[in-house]
Amino acid sequence: MKRLTFLLIVLTTTLFGQKIPKNIVILIGDGMGITQITGGWIYKRGHLPLKRFTDVGLMTVHPIDALITDSAAGATAFACGKKTRVGMLGVDSAGRPLTNLFDIARKHKKKVGVISTVAVVDATPAAFVAHVPHRRMYDSIAVQYLHNMPDVVIGGGRKFFESHLLPTAKTYRRLRRKGYDIITHPDSIVYASRKRLIALVADVDLPPPARRKLFSLMAWNTAHRLLSKNKHGYVLMIEGGQIDRACHANHPDWYRQEIIDFFNVVEDVLHQAEKDGETLVIVLADHETGGLAIPHGDLTTGEAELKWTTGHHTADLIPVFAYGPGSERFRGVYDNTDIFRKLRALIEAR
Ligand SMILES: [Zn+2]
């Protein structure tokens, strides 16, 4: 019976052209609604890497008991497939730990990685690793990372891993024995040479793009180089974490730098996926931040006038862009929890 099922799966996937990716890259622009994307398009004078994505969807992002979500409930929805309350991370609304996409990927022999421009214990990356009733339990999240370390971790948040709770030298020794390179300076990321990597290169968040320069591109390129050695592929989450920060602050220049930085990474990942033909790339957000509008601007000069309506998150539906094997599954209008189900099906089908 088992063999017959297997044969049927092989037949249907080849006969009906169902495409299953080897690698999955999930790019999350924290706080990036459709207007934040539009702003990036204007700043790049009409160049939009997202135009090369073949499939587009829209998703609702509300938490279980309210209209407006935060990053914790939002990321839990697509990382774990369940709606939860605002502030809760990797757990359902009763506080029970949920299985996440990384757990499923590892069961299928895939490598996993997170990259963020903020602390890796922050809500969005942490939803793929940790389970806590409140997102600000950074020390607990760091401890859970240490027990369940992704193969590649690149971002900020070093101070939470070097707090009084954890004997640093012993912890790092143990991780080196497990094959990890430990890097603390951003310029050294590209020299990572072991099969695994922990690069915590800032105490909390990284500095804005003007000061962190090519960090995002170096982080992605290094993660891809290490993770792609695995013949079963990988699942990598990359977060542009400061789009949200800049939009909370209603800070035009910071937002402009962040969206351009994020678009550059999207473009590089897409380029890789176009080359290898076996990588699914998904671009989405957890929610919109700032209620941004652009009443005026100029595509030829790349200038945009920004008007914010709030310093908080909004209820906007969020666009999803997909490219690569399985991308057609992301068409339509659905809920953020469906992202988990769609990706789980693709991981389990291979
Ligand atoms: Zn926010």
Centroid of ligand 1 to alpha carbon of 288 (angstroms) = 8
CATH number at residue 328: 3.40.720.10
DSSP code string of 275-334: HHS-EEEEEE-S--BS--EEEEEETTTTEEEEE-S-SSB----EEEEEESTTGGGG-EEE
- How confident is residue 280, by pLDDT bands cut at 50, 70 and 90? very high
Output the pTM of the full model. 0.94
Centroid of ligand 1 to alpha carbon of 215 (angstroms) = 22
Query: What is the C-alpha separation between 101 and 107, in angstroms, rounded?
Result: 10
Number of domains the chain is built from:
1
Centroid of ligand 1 to alpha carbon of 241 (angstroms) = 9
Q: Give the pLDDT confidence score for residue 32 in this predicted structure.
A: 98
Centroid of ligand 1 to alpha carbon of 286 (angstroms) = 9
Any domain includes 8? no
Residue 115 and residue 154 in contact, taking contact as beta carbons nearer than 8 Å = yes
- pLDDT of 140-199, one tens digit each? 999 999 999 999 999 999 999 987 556 678 888 889 999 999 999 999 999 999 999 999
Any domain includes 3? no
Centroid of ligand 1 to alpha carbon of 333 (angstroms) = 23
Centroid of ligand 1 to alpha carbon of 118 (angstroms) = 12
Any domain includes 313? yes
Query: What is the C-alpha separation between 252 and 64, in angstroms, rounded?
Result: 32
Residue-range definition of the domain harbouring residue 215: 19-349
Centroid of ligand 1 to alpha carbon of 276 (angstroms) = 34
Centroid of ligand 1 to alpha carbon of 9 (angstroms) = 42
Any domain includes 221? yes
Any domain includes 314? yes
Any domain includes 259? yes
CB atoms within 10 A of CB 149: 16
Residue 23 and residue 278 in contact, taking contact as beta carbons nearer than 8 Å = yes
Residue % of the chain over a pLDDT of 90 = 90
- How confident is residue 14, by pLDDT bands cut at 50, 70 and 90? very low
Query: What is the C-alpha separation between 111 and 126, in angstroms, rounded?
Result: 17
